[in-house]
Amino acid sequence: MIFKKKKKEKAFDGYWNILVVDDEEEVHSITNIVLKNFIFKNRKVKLYDTYNIEDTKEILSSDIDFSLIFLDIVMETDNAGLLITKFIRDDLKNDTTRIILRTGQPGNAPEQKIIIDYDINDYKEKTELTATKLTTSVVSSLRSYEELLKIKDHEVILEKEVSEGIIKLRKKDKQLQHQERLCQNVEIINMLAHQWRQPLNDIVMNMNNMILDIELDEINKDSIKSTSNLILNKSQKLSDQIDGFLSHYKPNEKKSDVSLDGLLKKVLSIVDYRIVTDKISFVQEFDEDFIIHTYENEVEQIIVHLINNAIDAYNKIDGSSRNLSLICKSSKHRLIISVVDEAGGIPEDIIDEIFDPYFSTKEEINGAGLGLYMSRLLVEKHLNGHLDVFNKNKGCTAELTLELEDYIHG
């Protein structure tokens, strides 16, 4: 007895789904015969057949992933194939499936016009589609389809990487904001220390005098009452300063109507101690009082920060002239708030870096390099404006610009 070894069937990696759309049965039969044993990259062809627009739209709307469509132009209408093409590209948003138009009446639809006006990959007359040319067209289309799928996969990966990058940036942005908040807390402490030093010294001195009078048995009721009132008044002022600073650094949840004049007065109440202590000759100029609809504390913080930067610049140089101007002007539907100093300006080798995160020319702890960066971020993302710093004349000008269409009313 002779046993014949059974031939092992070759395993294939699935199918290429191809849709044949034509109202002629003969076209379907020929296409099936030619592609019956067709194999490309270890995958067979699986053919689907439709004969009109309605059935074609129905199968295209299913979950079948078609690699290629042979599409007749003239069926129940002269432009049936073109209508199906628009359905695929425009309605289904499918730009990967390859489409080969086949027509027996080329005069009805000129090849050049169709390929330009529609997303068609090839255009063939039925009479020229021999078995060899049909197979060649299929190979070319499947290669193109495969490359498009790779591009789509890369796009998905890229979108994922971009999304992950955005999440990381937002996380980093929150970290920067947290660090800026820490820096602001240090700045509050430093400001309060400057503001409180003299009043506390007065309180301590008056308390010591009162204790000394008690020890020397030289108690005078009027003197004690006067001293006590002085201590109470100074303590109340210290308490008011705390409230003012806390209000200044508390973020606004909603916009409010703010008088420009009132806003600038609040700013000056915050920086007044430095203007006096550091012997700054301060000038304030503005054309008229505006009512601004904005986040009040955020605008305050930015202006205070710019003024403090200018005063810091004066403290790094020697010179008797310490002029500082706060100028507000309306120009071309904009409100421009400028802080102008004469402290020599910013060195040209670092002026392009001053808005970078972590960059700083300061050595102290409250100069963490986040001030200008966070200020610009706040202006652009929250206040719909922009912040610029540039050298001009004898010093530096910091310019905060707010669009009047958004900010002014009434």
Span 270-315, pLDDT tens digits = 788 788 888 899 999 887 777 888 888 888 888 988 998 899 889 8
- What does DSSP say about strands 291-294 and 334-341: parallel, antiparallel, or unpaired? unpaired
The alpha helices in 36-110, defined as continuous H runs, are: 53-60, 80-86
pLDDT at 350: 84
State the burial class of residue 135 (Cβ atoms within 10 Å of its Cβ: 0-12, 13-18, 19+). middle
pLDDT at 364: 40
pTM metric for this prediction: 0.45
Please choose, from the candidates 361, 310, 319, 313, the residue with its C-alpha nearest in 3D space to the C-alpha of residue 338: 310
Residue 212 predicted with pLDDT over 60: yes
Quickly state the pLDDT bin for 365 (edges 50, 70, 90).
very low
pLDDT at 295: 82
The alpha helices in 286-365, defined as continuous H runs, are: 296-314
Residue 18 predicted with pLDDT over 90: yes
Q: What's the average model confidence in pLDDT over 211-230?
A: 80
Residue 13 predicted with pLDDT over 80: no
SS3 content of the chain, % helix, strand, coil (to 5): 50, 20, 30
Residue 408 predicted with pLDDT over 80: no
pLDDT in tens, 84-130: 999 998 899 998 899 988 877 655 555 556 666 667 777 777 777 77
CB 70 within 8 A of CB 20: yes
pLDDT in tens, 23-37: 999 999 999 999 988
pLDDT at 399: 93
CB 224 within 8 A of CB 210: yes
Distance CA 380, CA 378 (A): 6
φ and ψ at 285, to 5 degrees? -135, 130
Residue 6 predicted with pLDDT over 80: no
- Residue 171 in tokens: 């996380």
Q: What's the average model confidence in pLDDT over 198-227?
A: 79
Higher pLDDT, 238 or 148: 148
Residue 367 predicted with pLDDT over 80: no
Beta bridge partners of 125: 103
- Residue 76 in tokens: 């129940």
Residue 209 predicted with pLDDT over 70: yes
Q: What is the mean pLDDT of the chain?
A: 79
pLDDT in tens, 157-197: 888 887 787 777 777 767 766 666 666 666 666 656 665 66
Instruction: Determine which of 60-64, 119-123, 217-221, 357-361 has the lowest per-residue pLDDT on average.
Output: 357-361
CB 239 within 8 A of CB 195: no
Q: What's the average model confidence in pLDDT over 365-381?
A: 63
